[in-house]
Structure 1
Amino acid sequence: MPIKIDRRRLLHGLSGLAATSVLSGCASAGASSGEPRTNVVRYQGQSGDVVYHELAADLGLLDGVELEWIGNTTSGPQDIQATVTGDTDIGGAFNGAIIRLAAAGAPIKAVVGYYGSDVRTYGGYYALDRSPIRGPRDFIDAKVGVNTLGAHFEDVLAIYLERGGLTEEEIDSVQLVVVPPVSAEQALRSGQLDISALSDIQREKAVAHGGLRPVFSDTDMLGPFTAGCLVMRDEFIARNPDTTSRLVAGIAQAVRWAQTRPHEEVVARYTDIIRRRGRNEDTDSVSYWRSTGIAGAGGLIEDREFSTWLRRLTASGRVPPGSVDLRKLYTNEFNPFRAGAPN
């Protein structure tokens, strides 16, 4: 069943959670500052999917860095919060969520892009064929299903509505409803939602069933773009510069491998990895893989992939002006595909 969320209350709660995470992260960093350097990197995976560190390990690209899987993440915000608190050493989320956490004081740095949108891989906002919703003003008072709050689908929707001329009050009238991705199509077809944000396997299955039409997509708004990055704690990077360099270089090379290899080869490799790791997972999802969606070669990060969201979050009052310095928020220092990197 969908979970109806009060948007203002939820955003306030997210701010509190971010603050808690920052405080916990600072305590963890202080406690671990005297620990020896390590070549073991803890991370969360994704059920039925392969994250790029896992692909890098399988391709033999991690140069002695060992991965320790501690379980699967439930969302991007949860994944990076686990990194801030020191439960993991690397995590990934939508760039807008990273900005929110950084604005709360989280000592993190984005090191490589890991997902995005292009003509083959994108997030779409879908209505039933018979729905009267056709444009931005039709979203007023509508119920829109998203997978989580404070992340990709919410911020893209806000840009769409702002460009459509809606006031802040009219945008706030849109009811965001948290729906597990596997339930999003059914919630839309049953009338519990007016619009459902769909991507990847859920989008392709829903469209194949018929009766739906896209209202707009994230690429309609922004073109191809890297939407999310992997982050690490500042103290982990400072204490383990060699491990960080080898890890990020391996991930970047794995991203580039997926960007340049034939579709069938990537799907076959992902399927094989999932089967061999023995986590009792279904491999159906990876058969719907279409592309990395990542704009930069090897996950290189550009200013615009953060500045787009920072401008909106600052203008809407969700992030205090001057609280986030993009020059400190991300780095391509460890990416072998950056300009001037040694061959």
Structure 2
Amino acid sequence: MNVQIEVLVDPLEDVLALLGATSQISASMTAGGRWAVRFDPPTGVKFNAVRRGRCLLWVDGVADPISLEQGDCFLLTLPRAFTLASDPETRPEPAPPLFVAAVDGVARVGDGDDVFLIGGAFTFGDRASTLLLASLPPVIHVPAASPEAATVHWAVGEIDAELRQAPMGGTLAAEHLALVMLIRVLRLHLARGATSGWLAGLADPVVAPALRAMHDRPAHPWTVAELARVATVSRSTLAARFKGIVGQGPLEYLTAWRIELAAEGIRRGGETVAVIARSVGYGSESAFSVAFKRTTGLSPRAYRRQTAGVG
């Protein structure tokens, strides 16, 4: 007897795959005595983990400093300058010269090695800020003491081990582990009860079934009534709950997601605009072109010219 098992699309996995998330491990840093280092705004999503000691973190635009203890890590989701320091009074020195002078992958600051941090960054495709990052707070702090953070600490520990032991393929393994850490930090953010944004919708019992249905069948001609049946609520309840949490109505979200899928298809090349339009649920190329330009500011063909070779 053949048994068919339906596998539903995981929207978080769906989005991370679409965004082409990649990671890069940077030089580690050791510090001691009184010290402070000022970092320029990162180009991607930055993370650091404290493997030994403690320090303070200031992020531009965030009112209060964050106390980082051994085992803590943080994710900086926006391109903001930040400072790591032993205390509030020490004048920071710029990070770039310290990391240029790193020896064996370790930058050194201050006097001694009371503190040891590892770090890196994640990069995404050109639509990431709209689709994922805008829904996150500027910094996500993961304290070592929080029991739900155990899997994050495991990933950080494995990254540290790969970098210290330097086995064959260690750098690549560390970069893949960093992506594991990213997913787990995002899960932790959801577990803390994010109240708004796309990620919060994934944890909401009403919104999540509708999101999964749209990701599972993006080309289907969904209506609010049909999505409400999937979520087992009324149309008005789904519409209000979806907009209140995600920030846009269900069909607005569906249009935006279809355009993201289409944009990826255009970047990859190999298919005509008409074929891509049909694959994401548009019956005519002209209707698709109007929706695409309204969302991205470019016609599909202009977008293809601009992103030629990107994918």
- TM range, smaller chain: under 0.3
After TM superposition, the score normalised by the length of structure 2 is 0.22
Asked which structure has the greater RCO (Cα within 8 Å, sep 6+), the reply is: 1
After TM superposition, the score normalised by the length of structure 1 is 0.21
Q: Which has the larger radius of gyration?
A: 2
